[in-house]
Structure 1
Amino acid sequence: MAVETFVPSASVITVTPSAVRHFESKLGSSQQIIRFSTKESGCTGYAYVVDYADAPQADDEVIQVSDKLTVAVARSAIPMLRDTEIDYVKEGINGLLKFNNPNIAEACGCGESFSVKS
């Protein structure tokens, strides 16, 4: 009989150095965390939700990204966010979060919502 190791936080999400700097600057010296989840929205199904939280919820997957940044991923969102890279990019004078999500099957034209592969 073989023994397999399950590492739940492996490959849930990754956060680029640019996004880490962005989130750390927003949190400053507070003890808050960044929490990622999804909600039903838009014409294709789901939208990303990024919140500041004082603590993770009981069933969240918690990832220590850096000394100053802890992120939590809602358990219900893990199937939709698995292997997603979260990046912060500058486009002209605007800065925005980009979710490079390999699970997306379809996205709406305005970029507000997405559906995932089943």
Structure 2
Amino acid sequence: MNLNVDDQMLYRVGNENLVRVTPNAATKIDELKQRENQGDFLRIRITGGGCNGLSYKMKFVEDGKEGDILVSSAGVQVLVDSKTTLYLRGTTLDYSDKLVAGGFKFSNPNAKASCSCGESFNL
């Protein structure tokens, strides 16, 4: 789904300075989006939890919420809530299909420490 002008009033439009999706991640996201058929937007949020205190959560959604920031990167439409932007700025989302240490990886320049799985961090 692509947003039209009326839809964008719910969202603020951001750019890749907030979050950048690599081509490898975009390919995998598109594959998962087709298989799961849960929505056209990828919501990324940060919640308390994980081995380092904060963890990344991703899910497909049909629509965003008022105040969300919409970032289009590598053809992926990413929605981020305003609280998550405080922790996410400058992050790159990548994907590797390696047998060991494969999967989605977040590279967050704001993180002081992160776990080896790349799914949690602290500031």
Identity %: 28
- C-alpha displacement of 1:114: 1.3
8 Å contact kept, 1:105–1:115: yes
2:53: which partner in 1? 45
- C-alpha displacement of 1:42: 3.1
Deviations 1:26-68 (A, max 9, x none): 112955210000111134321001011011121111012255x
8 Å contact kept, 1:64–1:71: yes
2:68: which partner in 1? 60
Matched residue SS, 2:30 = helix
2:87: which partner in 1? 80
Given candidates 25, 32, 39, the residue that maps to 2:31 is 25
* CA distance 1:70–1:111, shift in 2 (3 Å): closer
Given candidates 103, 110, 121, the residue that maps to 1:114 is 121
* CA distance 1:45–1:17, shift in 2 (3 Å): same
For 1:83 and 1:20, locate their aligned partners in 2 and report how far apart those are by CA, in whole Å: 17
Kindly provide the amino acid, as one letter, of the partner of residue 104 in structure 1: A
Report how many residues are paired: 109
1:4: which partner in 2? none
TM-score when scaled to structure 1? 0.78
- C-alpha displacement of 1:95: 4.1
- Higher normalized helix content (fraction of residues): 2
Kindly provide the amino acid, as one letter, of the partner of residue 86 in structure 1: L
Cα root mean square deviation, aligned: 2.4
For 2:118 and 2:41, locate their aligned partners in 1 and report how far apart those are by CA, in whole Å: 25
* CA distance 1:57–1:11, shift in 2 (3 Å): same
For 1:96 and 1:108, locate their aligned partners in 2 and report how far apart those are by CA, in whole Å: 14
8 Å contact kept, 2:22–2:74: no
Question: Whose radius of gyration is greater, 1 or 2?
Answer: 1
TM-score when scaled to structure 2? 0.75
8 Å contact kept, 2:71–2:79: yes
